[in-house]
Amino acid sequence: MFHSQINPMYAITGYKIGKKTAEQILPETLHGIDIPAALERLGGDSKLFIRLLLVFSRDYAGVTDEIKAALSRSDIDTAVRLAHTIRGVSGNLSAKDLHAVASDLEKCIKQRILEKLDFLLEVFDQALRQVLESVKCLDTPGTKGVGKIFEKETAVVCAYEGPKELEEAIRQLEKDSLPLWDTIKGCLILDEIGSFGRHIKAQGEKYRIKSLEKFGDDLLMCVSNFDIEHINLLLNSFPELVGKIKSL
């Protein structure tokens, strides 16, 4: 069942940034999204979960029209790819209705079952709109402008406590992170790239280096979205990021 009315009850959850704890409002329920399942999938990282939802809303709001346009010009490969992408991303976000209908739509397009196509596109768009409406709850006055909070957080490059902490962070980057980057930079094994993203995020949190934490979050978002192009761009930029940290 799809719900047109969204009236979530709000609960306060917290996440730590260095020694500080920031309170982040996360709805207790979001129609079309299984929040507990999504947080379990993301290791309880509510901040990353919200960022993934915001990125999804930004990047895929017009995907139904994109699929229809591809079908109208008989570009089956593009239509299948778009449906497949939404199936994967919605699964990672535990948007279960959207995931189910995206899977059916992908199969229908692949098998050219034309009699079901219009119906599935309509149901797909309903499920997509429901998720997009739910995500709007995350940037209303009642949620204190989640998107703006994240922009403010990531504006600070480094908040380390002293030279010794920065020196230790640089040693760890050179000893562990760069060799790890060297082993995965040319591969497209998403699990390994995701592990690297979590490693870098943990380093950023440990040493309070925001640019590292943001790099890890961004890489995890790209992995979740199967965004190979931006994964490669991010990985290629990592040595430059390390260089900037070393120059602090």
pLDDT digits (tens, 9 = 90+) for 119-150: 999 999 999 999 999 988 775 544 444 444 44
Q: What is the pLDDT of residue 162?
A: 56
Assigned CATH topology for domain 10-148: Four Helix Bundle (Hemerythrin (Met), subunit A) (1.20.120)
Same fold: 10-148 with 157-246: yes
Q: Which helix (H) or strand (E) holds 24?
A: strand 20-27
Structure tokens at 69: 């346009």
Whether the predicted pLDDT of 170 surpasses 80: yes
Structure tokens at 127: 């499920």
Range scoring the smallest mean pLDDT among 59-68, 87-96, 186-195, 207-216 = 186-195
Structure tokens at 207: 């040493």
Q: What is the pLDDT of residue 224?
A: 82
Written as one letter, the residue type at 35 is I
pLDDT tier at 56, thresholds 50, 70, 90: confident
The answer to whether 49 and 42 are in contact (CB under 8 A) is: yes
Domain map (residue ranges) of the chain: 10-148, 157-246
SS3 106: helix
| Nearest-angstrom CA–CA distance, 242 and 170 | 8
Please choose, from the candidates 156, 158, 154, the residue with its C-alpha nearest in 3D space to the C-alpha of residue 167: 158
If phi > 0 it is left, if psi is from -120 to 50 it is alpha, else beta; for residue 43 that is left
pLDDT tier at 174, thresholds 50, 70, 90: very high
pLDDT, tens digit, 9 for 90 and up, residues 27-42: 678 899 999 998 888 7
Structure tokens at 82: 């778009």
Residue with tokens 């995890």: 220
CATH number of 157-246: 1.20.120
